Amino acid sequence: MLELRAITAGYHTKAPVVRGASLTVAPGESVGLLGPSGCGKSTLARVAALLHRPDSGTLLLDGEPVRSWRHRAPRAQRTAFGVVFQQPRLSADPRLRLTDLIAEPLRATGRRGGIEERVCELAASVGLTPDLLDRRPHEVSDGQLQRACLARALALRPRWLICDEMTAMLDASTTAALVAAVEDYRATSGAGLLAVGHDQVLLDRWCDRTIHWEDVTGRTTPTTGRLPQASGRRQPSVVPPAGER
């Protein structure tokens, strides 16, 4: 169980980005978090992934309150989260080949044997062809790089996946492929998912339940208010509805 209670977080103590946000993700559940841009949902995602210490509030991981973030968090705890960010260009070290990029978590946690096979397996699961693996980030497209980033996030078999606007930069077919790869992994591992985004159609089809930002914080966002509900005529989406998979 991943439980965020009354989280207030930001980059200056006097002007927090997120105020009093609460959210729960059960094991194996997929939750979509929907909000307008700039409302603080990425910050909340970073808090949930133990990457940003909140100013106040509690994060409960399987009932235990988390007390330390980033490097201070025990390694087993932070590697329990696989994180995929919005911009693949910024989330890949430009000096690493895709193989090394995907293998980096395996090496960082001291796994020696079988790295090559594991990288091939991961690359195949996200649909990266072997010829791309020798390239560096600037030699592949955004979509291919995001596939590598997803493979990296899955490398340590995390129990929780945090996808922060994972598909915002990508075309429809890559979006579908990435979502399918995430769902394949969840089907075999039973991992929970927190998918942050602003595309209601996508999140509705992808996740078991979708929650709006103002339901998370308990108040309407002053600048933008509630997103218009997708009513009646839904746009066709490439992702099958949650029930049909």
- Contact footprint for other proteins (CB under 8 A): 46, 49-51, 70-71, 75, 78-79, 81-83, 85, 87, 90-93, 95, 104-105, 108-109, 139-141, 149, 152-153, 155-156
> Whose Cβ is closer to other proteins: residue 93's or residue 116's?
93
Tokens of residue 161, six digits: 């996946």
Closest separation between CB of residue 174 and other proteins, Å? 15
The H-assigned helical ranges of 190-245 are 200-206, 213-217
> Whose Cβ is closer to other proteins: residue 80's or residue 239's?
80
Closest separation between CB of residue 118 and other proteins, Å? 13
Q: What is the DSSP string of 182-226?
A: HHHHHHHH--EEEEEES-HHHHHHHSSEEEEHHHHHTS--TTT-S
> Whose Cβ is closer to other proteins: residue 147's or residue 152's?
152
Q: What is the dihedral of CA 30, 87, 120, 130, to 10 degrees?
A: 140
Closest separation between CB of residue 15 and other proteins, Å? 18
3-state DSSP helix/strand/coil % of the chain, to nearest 5: 40, 20, 45
Closest separation between CB of residue 105 and other proteins, Å? 3
> Whose Cβ is closer to other proteins: residue 148's or residue 239's?
148
